[in-house]
Amino acid sequence: MALDENVLEKGILNVTPSLQIVNTQAPQPSSLHSQPLKILLSFYLLPNPAVMAVLRVHGSPISTAVMRVVAALYEKGLEFEFVTIDMKAGQHKSEAFLALNPFGQVPAFEDGDLKLFESRAITQYIAHEYASNGTQLICPDSKKMAIMSVWIEVEAHQYDPHAGKLGYELFYKPMFGQTTDPAAVEDLEAKLGKVLDVYEARLTQSKYLGGDCFGLADLHHLPTLHYLLGSSAKKLFDSRPHVSAWVADITARPAWAKVIAMQKS
């Protein structure tokens, strides 16, 4: 985040006024109020700890894992720097990037001296570290948080393995000039359909997967949903009324619209 002429307006520095009253003549006890006063107004530029550390996301804006992290940042209303990694050019395997993520995968995340990788770990850090900002993505109640954590795990281990592969077949392969495998699509749709049957039952009991409020369990689905809803797999979601209503709700969030806008910029 570069400093410029609008540095104060952007909140990089706090301006703390200090009002100092100096009596320029010897005071008379009976008429102190009549003595001329010289008012000195000085400003001290102090660093604002809340905005000193720059949040950085390294990755590609079309990566589902990167989109997951960016969605959490937008939900929290946090400013961040996006560092585009050219994966076609192999930047994710460069020595500089491997210092951030030794597995050579996106995203990599920095918050000051803290460096993280793995998108779901990053979103949970953001949700906890910046709990007082923006949308409350976790539950302060331990029992409610335990329920949300169950569905965070379900997304990672039951939903995403099928949804991610299906998105690869239906979106990424055509984008890279490869041929979609119809047999793989059929198999993956059947497997994902079984997971969505469980979701349909769950969503008859609560508005969101993790409870009554939107949270990480819902947010983590958004990237794969984005690609699947633009494909033939959309029918899997539309055919289940509670799932369909949930999808319509979470994909209409303003923060998610900002994530999509990043891909077009």
Q: What is the pLDDT of residues 73-116, one digit of tens each?
A: 999 999 999 999 999 999 999 999 999 999 999 999 999 999 99
CB atoms within 10 A of CB 207: 15
Dump pLDDT digits (tens) for 118-140. 999 999 999 999 999 999 999 99
By mean pLDDT, which of 3-7, 129-133, 212-216 is the weakest? Answer: 3-7
Tokens of 162: 């099928």
Tokens 């392969």 sit on residue: 173
Q: What is the C-alpha separation between 43 and 142, in angstroms, rounded?
A: 45
Rama region for 62: left / alpha / beta (φ>0; ψ in -120 to 50; rest): alpha
Above 80 in pLDDT, residue 46?
Answer: no
Q: Give the domain ranges of the chain.
A: 13-48, 53-129, 142-264
Residue 247's closest CA among 24, 255, 261, 214? 214
For the chain, helix (H) and strand (E) counts, in that order, are: 13, 6
Averaged pLDDT for residues 209-236: 98
What is the layout of strands, in order, in the sheet containing 108-111? 81-84, 55-59, 108-111, 114-117
Q: Is 96 helix (H, G, I), strand (E, B) or coil?
A: helix
Question: In CATH, which of 3.20.20.370, 1.20.1050.10, 1.10.8.80, 3.30.70.20 is domain 142-264?
Answer: 1.20.1050.10
pLDDT at 264: 86
- Angstrom CA distances, 228 to 9, 35, 89, 110, stand at 41, 77, 27, 30
Asked, colleague to colleague, whether 53-129 and 142-264 share their fold, the answer is no
Do 243 and 237 meet the contact criterion of CB atoms below 8 Å apart?
A: yes
Q: Is 22 helix (H, G, I), strand (E, B) or coil?
A: strand
d(CA 93, CA 17): 49
Q: For the structural domain made of 53-129, what CATH number should be given?
A: 3.40.30.10
Q: What is the pLDDT of residue 52?
A: 52
Share of residues in the chain with pLDDT > 70 (%):
80
43 pLDDT higher than 80: no
Q: Decide if pLDDT at 216 tops 50.
A: yes
Mean pLDDT over all residues of the chain?
Answer: 85
